[in-house]
Structure 1
């Protein structure tokens, strides 16, 4: 779809939405007004001079949104890739934030009640029992602080209230899907209340495991939240919120596009190379099957003290911790060429104090201080079957059907001769990144109502970071494969020397049996004397000592906004803002065993933006229509690239530009019929440097969502229908756009270049449908409902990721999106 056709489609939708208006009466109900706190105070969405999408809990429930990936479908300019709960990608206006290394910074901030949970491996949390979700697009560093370079998502959780309330929902569906949500809110006196809410969500995998065992791409999450509220007076209140989430999911189907799925013992082909068929992956390691085990916990204390009618003081205190271990088959075939894991840990402490002033005069403002401390580590163990790895690096591993294990052994014996018995079938190397950050922020923001119709807002934030980046690598046992090129000539030379000495001493040629004995002895002595050499990761000094570097970073971000009230229901604004991502120091293995690691610095990334927006509430409040156009200029755009040792480091890819348009409309046709639509156009391209002219990864040029909520009733029952359709244009999964010039053969890493540009997803759309009913009159104090749902109703085949770790070796893997899933939900409210 071209940008012109997409714009015409949205315009046509708006006209169709407006057409029936004249037939409605002036008494029709208006759509609900969303109140948000993006500018650190409660404001109607209409009055916030920024591109903000606010979604209420009722909307989330009606549309069936339970996680970030579903949420993003209805927020223009926002995309979320859910490879697994441990490896999400948050994309705002074309810019992706998904790095799992402990030293990386995020570009899109995720918050729970104002507390940053942005570290990638702990940010993907379940969305349940919420008040609303606020998504602010554009540089938000001034308002939200660190890592809000291009946007922020704030999850506002439901708090304990002084009322007795309870509800539950049970869902079952295809692939043995089962989900239970429950909440109980209990008042304990006039000033104290507690609330307990939880979710358990499980589903079998949708990609068949052709070797038996659990199918791939399943779900397994249990989450619990305890909150307590104490309000000793109208002027003073505290909320304590404790969250815990446990994820235990089967493995991700990293389906190879190079190798047929086979039985490793017989070599029999079991399926095809499409991303949607069954997968035959190698077993896990570290006494673990393929899959994820993750625990996330957090404790937040919110305090608010209203000093008088003009002054208020807010406090946010938080501690958060996560621990995640995910095992995956990085090459996507049944032979153990490369199996990998990621073990990530992190903990953070934060404290923020903010003072707000608003006496109803021309000037209002807020100012604050915050402290943030984080410690994180990410270990990546790699396990190689050196037989398969050796043949692969020599380009002798059959394509597309690799050898069976017995043939693999025989081929390795022939290829490596006397070294073959010493090839390790489970050689392991581990690299670990460490990051520590201590950060202090000071910020202030003021709004001046110049006239009753015109106001100016200006904000500034200063951030000072003291950081440490560390790196360590270790090798469990020396790799004969890695040293083979040096060992083989040395062994041959030693055996020849022995043979020469024997001939000189005896005058006869040595027998083949004697030469074999000499070869075995010399080989054993050479292998025993090997240093801890690795295939990809060379160990740091001491075979695993941590080497670290301290550095500091500081910078200023700002915003300047002008808002004009054309009327009480039409606002326009223009804003200029700067976002900033701190500089990054990435560690990687040295070129030789026990050498010092190398550290690469990527300068701080900045983005300057210009945005113009129009916000309207028309037709007696029945139509909400917001539109924004924007342009960005990035300097020192940070991206991750693979090194010759198989690692990932952050480097500057030069300049980049983006411009686009976002619009969102919500229209109430009648009190029982609502329609809504969003459209985003984003043109994000690299301007110079490494990827000049390329598109940003995970960034469609166009995305659309359409939907409606239609309710009707009989004398006894209420019915509703909620159809939604979401569509996006083509996306690439890497910044290199899978161009052949970036996929050339590399000795000892990628023996064959990848010349096929297939690591992308063409344009596609998803249709969802929800049908429900409930009694018109429920028993006193209770209500119930039944809803049937169908996600991806047309069973659209699409991929949600491609490339991955295997791409570094030239054997990209692909992850299939979810197929059609149908189920039913029963809700009970008290």
Structure 2
């Protein structure tokens, strides 16, 4: 263990501490040297974080700006027990206490819910949105189904967007940096009268890719997002308020850099070696000829409208309403095999739209009992289509293990050897064979919930919550094959062709003998064979059904097949909080989270056969948590910590089928225990220190992956930093260093163990025996230094991320892993830039 890691762990062992920063409100008389109070709304009412009996991290706009957070991946660095993998905006992985939520299937359900102002946006392909013009972000760990509902199996992230206010205000920030980085944030808030105000804000964020495209064109792993938000606030009376929020975001990003760890980058025409196998060096990727008629990359739009209403019926009763409509459409084209040759090109076309309505009644008369209860309705329709294109010449050589490693043959050579490799079938081998599969999901859900808090004594508080969820679901599946794959059918049709050729040649020989009384020569028989073979092959190929390589067509070559089912369940929470003093609280909670059962479709084993549907039983998690929260040193130290343990039943995971698809199955039982701690310390009025630490021991129990680590989950993670601000006679300066560190992670629930990756004929020609799909422990150092003249409306800040240029990977395995040729995605290298901010 390095000196830095040892020092960090020792410090944490002594303090049990890390940051808790959120919406801040300084009460009257608060000392300048104390940490501001933290207010969150986890329990559907405003409470100081100190008094909330749950593991919650809140980050306000000031903190997010100071440490340079603009997206979920950066946010997660400062939240203990929370990890985010951003393979692309279309394919994020949200990880809470070891549990990953990242399925792109339209039939799947989230385990970690993402909300915007209480509206679920958890569908994976539409969840990753830009974080700008926010009031705060609240991250609650542990089962939160009772409080948040849909998908909050093991945690929830709630983005609280800034609302229009009755003041004239505006600000802008312009950032530029290397890799052609540029980002513009702007906001203007205008009061129209005493009751109505509007706010318009937006962001444009773009950056060239940091993984070089060795074949020319746009580099990989770049950014391209434009987002706009309009809000209106109407306060017709003191008791009634409405907030209208409309969001729109468009992403247009270059391709994801899936770097092969098996085949070196080569020039596909000449075969010249143009790169190496390092995950962090350049990649030679390209789209298949004519596939989707576009380049590699992502095109996505996300939009939504929310209406928030609150009516204070009396001093004790408050009625709240959340109405929302949301939709997204995303199309991403990628080269998943990581090779220079066009063995496979894949796209993912995902669409979704949802409607939701929630009504909640709160009661709090300031007495011993308070409660809230509500009803919600949720409807969603989604689909995920996965079209694929194969160059059957390359695929055939690969699947028969005749493609040299690591330096593959150039494409002209592949084309030249195809006739020899495929014999009489060579003329029918398709360099652009296409097939597609689509999964569909439809959900109608009704929730009824209630939560009651009883203040037994001034120090003891008990809470209990219950939620009932009823889902009516439809899972659908369809697959089509554009033209039959002779490559896929070759093992079946070759004996047929041979038999038919032999039959026809035998007939010709018989006729010759009968006509001449002598046997034909070998040369004559060979000539007849050469003459008959093309005719037989053509006849056999013409009679082939629409057979595919990975996907077999559903009836009618693409007809959708649906199955309906229902699911219902109950989740709960039981909490006790004891206030030892005004600045020291302890709590214990028991809670259950639940993910509905899932029905996944996949192609049948033969063309035009009905699809196969596989059930994964409802997943449940039972959690026990003990927490401590306090403010020490006259309010200069805010600290909270929690220890927890949980058990899963029917843990759902995705596995590859022999047809190359992914289905959701139960991996059996799983359990975990851990510790999360966070503290914020005000050393002086101008110097703040913060630290977070999480320990997560998450392992599979019995079942498919017994003893394996959970994917994307480090056992240890740490962040620490400071906000240092000081003034001179004419200017103010600030310095914000942060350091984040995590221990080793694996990228798949199978932990890349060879026993789970044997050779599979027609899919994985060689067993994967190398356990390399993991990332060793690493840390990232970020620095920000700012300057502003006193009383000036502008400031300038220099920033540097990953100062030490640490090389790491953010993902490994991917689609290529199903073929036994895992791909790797590099993490961001060192990036520097400057930001100009203007307030007006």
Q: Normalising by structure 2, report the TM-score.
A: 0.96
Residue 753 of structure 2 corresponds to residue 739 of structure 1 = yes
Partner of 1:342: 348
2:821 to 802, 811, 814: 811
Superposed counterparts of 1:170-569, under 5 Å:
170-284=174-288, 285-507=291-513, 508-509=520-521, 510=524, 512-569=526-583
1:10 to 9, 12, 29: 12
Task: Give unpaired runs (5+ residues) of structure 1.
Answer: 18-25
Superposed counterparts of 1:135-146, under 5 Å:
135-146=139-150
Give me the whole-angstrom Cα distance separating, in 2, the residues matched to 1:655 and 1:154.
Answer: 29
> What secondary structure does 2:37 align onto?
coil
Give me the whole-angstrom Cα distance separating, in 2, the residues matched to 1:254 and 1:152.
Answer: 30
RMSD of aligned alpha carbons: 1.4
Residues 15 and 379 of structure 1: CA distance in aligned 2, closer, same or farther (over 3 Å): closer
Residues 236 and 440 of structure 1: CA distance in aligned 2, closer, same or farther (over 3 Å): same
Give me the whole-angstrom Cα distance separating, in 1, the residues matched to 2:382 and 2:700.
Answer: 31
Give me the whole-angstrom Cα distance separating, in 2, the residues matched to 1:768 and 1:231.
Answer: 43
> What secondary structure does 2:250 align onto?
strand
Q: CA deviation at 1:486?
A: 1.7
Residue 698 of structure 2 corresponds to residue 696 of structure 1 = no
Kept in 2: contact 1:799–1:815 (CA 8 A): yes
Kept in 1: contact 2:211–2:220 (CA 8 A): yes
Give me the whole-angstrom Cα distance separating, in 2, the residues matched to 1:9 and 1:250.
Answer: 42
Give me the whole-angstrom Cα distance separating, in 2, the residues matched to 1:445 and 1:78.
Answer: 26
Q: CA deviation at 1:28?
A: 4.4
Q: CA deviation at 1:607?
A: 0.5
Q: CA deviation at 1:487?
A: 1.7
Give me the whole-angstrom Cα distance separating, in 1, the residues matched to 2:507 and 2:385.
Answer: 50
Q: CA deviation at 1:777?
A: 2.2
1:101 to 81, 105, 108: 105
Q: CA deviation at 1:458?
A: 0.3
Q: CA deviation at 1:30?
A: 1.6
Residue 147 of structure 2 corresponds to residue 123 of structure 1 = no
> What secondary structure does 1:259 align onto?
coil
Structure 1 range deviating more: 802-811 or 615-624: 615-624
Kept in 2: contact 1:377–1:432 (CA 8 A): yes
Q: Tell me the alpha carbon deviations over residues 580-610 of structure 1, each in whole angstroms, 9 at most, x when there is no partner.
A: 0000000010011100111110110000010
Residues 656 and 812 of structure 1: CA distance in aligned 2, closer, same or farther (over 3 Å): same
Partner of 1:20: none
Give me the whole-angstrom Cα distance separating, in 2, the residues matched to 1:532 and 1:691.
Answer: 36
Kept in 2: contact 1:299–1:318 (CA 8 A): yes
Superposed counterparts of 1:620-699, under 5 Å:
620-699=634-713
Kept in 1: contact 2:712–2:746 (CA 8 A): yes
> What secondary structure does 2:235 align onto?
strand
Superposed counterparts of 1:694-733, under 5 Å:
694-733=708-747
Kept in 2: contact 1:73–1:726 (CA 8 A): yes
> What secondary structure does 1:294 align onto?
strand
Residues 200 and 659 of structure 1: CA distance in aligned 2, closer, same or farther (over 3 Å): same
Task: Give unpaired runs (5+ residues) of structure 2.
Answer: 20-29, 514-519
Residue 624 of structure 2 corresponds to residue 610 of structure 1 = yes
Give me the whole-angstrom Cα distance separating, in 2, the residues matched to 1:763 and 1:14.
Answer: 21
Partner of 2:22: none
Give me the whole-angstrom Cα distance separating, in 1, the residues matched to 2:497 and 2:594.
Answer: 56
Residues 11 and 454 of structure 1: CA distance in aligned 2, closer, same or farther (over 3 Å): same
Kept in 1: contact 2:740–2:779 (CA 8 A): yes
> What secondary structure does 2:394 align onto?
helix
> What secondary structure does 2:292 align onto?
coil
Give me the whole-angstrom Cα distance separating, in 2, the residues matched to 1:99 and 1:396.
Answer: 34
Partner of 1:134: 138
Partner of 2:25: none
Give me the whole-angstrom Cα distance separating, in 2, the residues matched to 1:655 and 1:16.
Answer: 31
Q: CA deviation at 1:223?
A: 0.2
Structure 1 range deviating more: 513-522 or 812-821: 513-522
Kept in 2: contact 1:34–1:56 (CA 8 A): no
Give me the whole-angstrom Cα distance separating, in 1, the residues matched to 2:72 and 2:492.
Answer: 51
Q: Tell me the alpha carbon deviations over residues 267-313 of structure 1, each in whole angstroms, 9 at most, x when there is no partner.
A: 11110011111100122521121000000000000000001110000
Give me the whole-angstrom Cα distance separating, in 2, the residues matched to 1:610 and 1:659.
Answer: 9
Q: CA deviation at 1:498?
A: 2.1
Partner of 2:798: 788
Give me the whole-angstrom Cα distance separating, in 2, the residues matched to 1:349 and 1:29.
Answer: 47
Kept in 2: contact 1:6–1:702 (CA 8 A): no
Partner of 2:24: none
Partner of 1:595: 609
Residues 189 and 97 of structure 1: CA distance in aligned 2, closer, same or farther (over 3 Å): same
Q: Tell me the alpha carbon deviations over residues 66-111 of structure 1, each in whole angstroms, 9 at most, x when there is no partner.
A: 0000000000000000000000000000000000000001100000
Q: CA deviation at 1:8?
A: 2.3
> What secondary structure does 1:490 align onto?
helix
Partner of 2:27: none
1:61 to 51, 58, 65: 65
Kept in 1: contact 2:17–2:693 (CA 8 A): no
Q: CA deviation at 1:15?
A: 9.6
Kept in 1: contact 2:182–2:206 (CA 8 A): yes
Kept in 2: contact 1:477–1:532 (CA 8 A): yes
Partner of 2:832: 822
Kept in 1: contact 2:250–2:301 (CA 8 A): yes
Give me the whole-angstrom Cα distance separating, in 1, the residues matched to 2:17 and 2:827.
Answer: 34
Kept in 2: contact 1:461–1:558 (CA 8 A): yes
Q: CA deviation at 1:712?
A: 1.3
> What secondary structure does 2:273 align onto?
coil
Q: CA deviation at 1:409?
A: 1.2
Partner of 1:30: 34
Residues 216 and 757 of structure 1: CA distance in aligned 2, closer, same or farther (over 3 Å): same
> What secondary structure does 1:198 align onto?
strand
> What secondary structure does 1:232 align onto?
coil
Structure 1 range deviating more: 815-824 or 407-416: 407-416
Q: CA deviation at 1:29?
A: 2.3
2:87 to 78, 83, 88: 83
Kept in 1: contact 2:18–2:691 (CA 8 A): no
Give me the whole-angstrom Cα distance separating, in 1, the residues matched to 2:18 and 2:673.
Answer: 28
Q: CA deviation at 1:16?
A: 13
Kept in 1: contact 2:509–2:525 (CA 8 A): no
Residues 386 and 16 of structure 1: CA distance in aligned 2, closer, same or farther (over 3 Å): closer
Give me the whole-angstrom Cα distance separating, in 1, the residues matched to 2:766 and 2:471.
Answer: 43
Give me the whole-angstrom Cα distance separating, in 2, the residues matched to 1:237 and 1:777.
Answer: 35
Partner of 1:23: none
Q: Tell me the alpha carbon deviations over residues 456-496 of structure 1, each in whole angstroms, 9 at most, x when there is no partner.
A: 00000000000000000000000000111122222222222
Structure 1 range deviating more: 236-245 or 611-620: 611-620
Partner of 1:21: none
Kept in 1: contact 2:18–2:692 (CA 8 A): no
